Amino acid sequence: MPDSRNNLQSTRFRIPDSPRAVQDYLWEQGWTDGLPVVAPTEPLVREMLSGYGGQPSDSLGR
């Protein structure tokens, strides 16, 4: 049986590859309060989910 935790079904956003561009974009979307953020790249999301143990489709927030 395939492991459904490998199925990431999310919207991808193309943002210039600079920390400032990522911060500005997240601010414009209302996804940050202005404090520094770590871009949720696919490798980082997969790493976080490996420790979570749930399904990628589970909501961890609102």
User: pTM score > 0.75 for this model?
Assistant: no
Nearest residue to 39 (alpha-carbon basis) of 15, 61, 59: 15
Q: What confidence score (pLDDT) does residue 27 get?
A: 92
Average pLDDT over residues 36-52: 84
DSSP state of 56: T
**CA–CA separation, 40 and 56 (whole Å):** 13
Average pLDDT, the chain: 81
Q: Which residue is listed with tokens 């956003």?
A: 13
